[in-house]
Structure 1
Amino acid sequence: MRIPQPRSLMGQMLLAVAIALLLVQGLSSFLIYKAQREAYETGMINVAAFRLIVDTRGPGAFSRHNHSPDRSAIGNPPPRAFPLEISNQSPIEQNEQRDAHAEQRLRDVLADQNFPQSEIVIVHRAVAKDPVARNSALRRAARHKLGADAISGMMESHVLVVGVRPLNQQDWLIARVRSPRAVNILLMPLVLQTLLIYAVLVGAVALILRRITRPLAALTRRVERFAATPDAEGQIVPSGPDDMHRLIVAHNAMEARIAAMLDEKNVMLGAIGHDLKTPLAALRVRIESVEDETERARMAATIEDIVRTLDDILSLARVGRPADPRERTELSALVASVVEEYEDMGEPVELGDTKRIVLELRPTWLRRALRNLISNALRYGQTARVSLAREGPSAVVLIEDDGPGIPAGQIEDMMNPFTRGDPSRNSATGGAGLGLALARAIADQHGGALTLANRLSATGEIEGLTARLEIPV
């Protein structure tokens, strides 16, 4: 199973820093915990050693051995919690695990105090499983009139059971030292300390990253807006660190340059369109003097083709930067009105299922895209069926025909400018190959998409082509 990762720059940087801090702080906490646990266990061993050495109730062999323990080496003892026990049996029980490390440390402490060489056994045991410790705890509970919860807590605590038997003796001197689990004493403070440090450091890093990424997020939104509507208005104010400040300044300059170039392009295209349409209009007048009616009709058709192609080229050049604003429009009514235009001309265009969808769009441009798609369907498929539905966050217009379709490898190329399904450029099958390119550009202008797909029969044969125009609601 793959763990999901944040997609934003701030999230990824914060995750990397958080993981690094967690590893470093975790290692530091482990080393501190280990050192404190060693010190804690050393203290318990020293307490046990002190009781074994100074207790006057030990066996005769112990009392005959006169020595004075070095209190600076083993520390001052706490009040006794459990009595010492003399037994002829080892304190270890079946299935109990000896603490070899603690045994070696106690052996070293006793050797430093000139204690007779002895066999040593140390085990950790719950109070409830040790008869001496359990009875002592019950007596204490009765003396202090403790409740059931307090007694249960005492039984769940642990004792360090230390058994020492000199090599020339038969009896064991057994001492018990209250030994709450080191994990209960040391681990919780370390966990709280780690979480506190972790929260402070991650919070500080988050504030720094937020200061860095906030201008970057604003720049990203600005780039997305400029990509949809190339307009130099609304540029963001440079802010953030010096590198980010310089990036925003450079981007604003680039936007201004691009906007100026687009303005120059529009002016140039307008001039070209005006200069070309004027002589074309003069030609329309002059061909009226041609006596041959057939020749006059051919010349007029040629002029109309030139004008139509010129309009398509100018529209395709201007579609990326439309001058008209978006309007709140009922898309189903717009689609129905375009279909009615073809029905009034007697064209076989059928309006299928539609759904009322209201959204903001540029009606003039979208009408142009629908006309291009329907005309393309009529040109190659002789019929056109138009429907409108809503799929998730998008309104989807489908235009279907019963034509020969498009070879799978050429579908994408067909939406490029000046690409036609009929390479002969027969006037009966269309113009310069700009209709689909213009329709796709208009879909992109609205943040949508245009896709073409062949409609297949049950046997795998092509039954027609479906143009799918998606517009975000």
Structure 2
Amino acid sequence: MLRRIGPRSLQGQVLLAIAAALLVAQAVGAVLVWRAQVERAEAETAHALAFRIIAGRMIAESGERRAGRWWGSHMRGTHRGPRGGFGPMRLEQVGALARREGDLIDDDLTARLDSILRGQGIAAAQLAVFSRSLDDDERAAGFAERRMRDFPRPARVTIAAVRMTPGDGLILARVFEPPRARALGWPLIAQTLLIYLVLVGVVALVLRRITGPLGALTRRVEAFAANPASPPAGQVEPQGPRDTRRLIAAHNRMEARIGALLDEKDVMLGAIGHDLKTPLAALRVRIECVDDDAERAALAATIKDISDSLDDILSLARVGRPSDPLEVTELSALVASVVEEYEDMGENVVLGDTSRVVLPLRATWLRRALRNLVGNALRYAGGCEVCVEKRGGQAVVRVEDEGPGIPDDEIAFMMEPFRRGDPSRNRGTGGAGLGLTLARAIAEQHGGTLSITNRTDGKRGIVAELALPV
């Protein structure tokens, strides 16, 4: 599923992988930073509460009169700070703790504060740390209203309730909740976007230097594979990284070598055709000297079989490098002309339903493919019906006969060279077993296909469908 909806190009897949890896790395980093901030905030809060509690205890136990008065007034809430204002951080002594509905007990912070106090030799009989909304704590809210007008108003206040001995009252120490842990989102998002712009942008430029030449090479290979006889002019310019340049240079050498081999093959086939057809033409002349009509006819038939087989072999060898260009042709008219040829010869070939389809093709080659299909139907079934239809994005020429059919497990073998429906190779059936092979090669030359199936309409025979892209 991801493969279907994700990018298919090399550049897109690499960029997606980098983006995904960066997202995971940033998520892990964000979690670690958030945990560090939470840990630091808890440590600062615990140490601030411990400092207030320990300082208050030291002053209370100092025995100095002034200090004692300060501690007493601090507990009673009548002490003014150095600037004359009442602060929420002063200690408060209460008989019982008034809990609010929104109070949240913090067990971790309680354990951390207890550890700090025990490290300073203070073992509290009872200790609890909880968080409270600022609006629910009159003392902290009043201080924020009077003294923190120029600063961001904190949302919550953290309160530590300590009972030193079972008979003492509760001592309340307050600190504001640090806001740093809540301010993590936007800086992290900005950092992530900046990294994306820099890293993904640089990688995109590097990948473009790689995928650009590879795209040009791919288009060149596709064009050469579609028509090796007339590839695009020139060669692909080696560019990009060294490995890409080496690949393009190797392709250029390979393409030049393949072109040279194809040219040599054409020259060789032309020579073979000339060297073999010349003595065959001489034999046709010489058999006219044979007095026996039956013997002369047999010799003429043999020479014709050899000549036809030679034509099929040479055509099959040349089908990959056609010399004639594609021409816009009305397919149903071409099929009708081939059917008329057989009708004029008195053959049982019928033109069925046709649809008008115009497409670029090589008419000479396609006529050869149609003649091979119709010839096979006449040879093994004695007749056929030829139809033309447009099916989706394809033009389909269908040749139906009512012959003996072909076993399903042998249909694929009938497409191979020198395979015949008559394994005895009786001359009466004719052919060298290249008709279907040549027809399939011509269909593939046009970007189409040739399929052979047995009829499924309750009749015997086969259906040959030559499908060409419109």
User: Could you say if the C-alpha distance between residues 127 and 315 of structure 1 is closer, same or farther in structure 2, counting changes exceeding 3 Å?
Assistant: farther
Q: Are 1:64 and 2:63 matched, yes or no?
A: no
- Say if 1:92 and 1:121, in contact at 8 Å, map to a contact too: no
Partner of 1:261: 261
Offset at residue 420 of structure 1 (A): 0.7
Offset at residue 16 of structure 1 (A): 3.6
Offset at residue 396 of structure 1 (A): 2.3
Find 1:463's aligned residue among 456, 460, 465: 460
Offset at residue 111 of structure 1 (A): 5.4
Q: Which shifted more, 117-126 or 173-182?
A: 173-182
Q: Are 1:417 and 2:424 matched, yes or no?
A: no
Q: Which shifted more, 402-411 or 42-51?
A: 42-51
1:271-323 deviation digits (Å, cap 9, x = unpaired): 11112112222222222233322322222222222211111111000001111
Q: Which shifted more, 406-415 or 91-100?
A: 91-100
SS in 2 for 1:390: strand
Over the matched positions of the two proteins, sequence identity in percent amounts to 54
Partner of 2:11: 10
- In structure 1, how many angstroms separate the alpha carbons of the residues matched to 2:350 and 2:89? 99
Offset at residue 116 of structure 1 (A): 6.7
Q: Are 1:132 and 2:130 matched, yes or no?
A: no
User: Could you say if the C-alpha distance between residues 199 and 80 of structure 1 is closer, same or farther in structure 2, counting changes exceeding 3 Å?
Assistant: farther
- Say if 2:395 and 2:468, in contact at 8 Å, map to a contact too: yes
SS in 2 for 1:427: coil
User: Could you say if the C-alpha distance between residues 136 and 2 of structure 1 is closer, same or farther in structure 2, counting changes exceeding 3 Å?
Assistant: same
- Say if 2:354 and 2:387, in contact at 8 Å, map to a contact too: yes
Offset at residue 236 of structure 1 (A): 0.7
- In structure 2, how many angstroms separate the alpha carbons of the residues matched to 1:9 and 1:181? 45
Q: Are 1:106 and 2:113 matched, yes or no?
A: yes
Find 1:209's aligned residue among 180, 197, 207: 207
Partner of 1:185: 183
Q: Which shifted more, 197-206 or 92-101?
A: 92-101
Offset at residue 454 of structure 1 (A): 1.6
Aligned residue identity for 1:119: Q
- Say if 1:91 and 1:121, in contact at 8 Å, map to a contact too: no
Offset at residue 240 of structure 1 (A): 1.2
Q: What TM-score do you get using the length of structure 1 for normalisation?
A: 0.81
- Say if 1:456 and 1:464, in contact at 8 Å, map to a contact too: no
Offset at residue 154 of structure 1 (A): 8.2
Aligned residue identity for 2:127: I
SS in 2 for 1:370: helix
SS in 1 for 2:114: helix
1:347-397 deviation digits (Å, cap 9, x = unpaired): 333333333332222121112112211222222222322223333333222
Offset at residue 181 of structure 1 (A): 6.8
- In structure 2, how many angstroms separate the alpha carbons of the residues matched to 1:133 and 1:340? 107
User: Could you say if the C-alpha distance between residues 134 and 196 of structure 1 is closer, same or farther in structure 2, counting changes exceeding 3 Å?
Assistant: farther
Q: CA RMSD in A?
A: 3.5
Aligned residue identity for 1:198: Y
Partner of 1:23: 24
Partner of 1:449: 449
Partner of 1:252: 252
Q: Which shifted more, 424-433 or 106-115?
A: 106-115
Q: Please list every run of 5 or more consecutive structure 2 residues that lacks an aligned counterpart in the other structure.
A: 68-85
Q: Please list every run of 5 or more consecutive structure 1 residues that lacks an aligned counterpart in the other structure.
A: 56-60, 69-78, 145-152
Q: What TM-score do you get using the length of structure 2 for normalisation?
A: 0.82
- Say if 1:33 and 1:190, in contact at 8 Å, map to a contact too: no
Q: Are 1:371 and 2:376 matched, yes or no?
A: no
- In structure 1, how many angstroms separate the alpha carbons of the residues matched to 2:132 and 2:3? 42
Q: Are 1:310 and 2:310 matched, yes or no?
A: yes
User: Could you say if the C-alpha distance between residues 190 and 299 of structure 1 is closer, same or farther in structure 2, counting changes exceeding 3 Å?
Assistant: same
User: Could you say if the C-alpha distance between residues 362 and 457 of structure 1 is closer, same or farther in structure 2, counting changes exceeding 3 Å?
Assistant: closer
SS in 2 for 1:412: helix
SS in 2 for 1:167: coil
User: Could you say if the C-alpha distance between residues 106 and 135 of structure 1 is closer, same or farther in structure 2, counting changes exceeding 3 Å?
Assistant: closer
User: Could you say if the C-alpha distance between residues 134 and 446 of structure 1 is closer, same or farther in structure 2, counting changes exceeding 3 Å?
Assistant: farther
- In structure 2, how many angstroms separate the alpha carbons of the residues matched to 1:282 and 1:196? 85
Aligned residue identity for 2:466: L
**1:33-52 alignment to 2 at 5 Å?**
33-49=34-50
- In structure 2, how many angstroms separate the alpha carbons of the residues matched to 1:304 and 1:317? 20
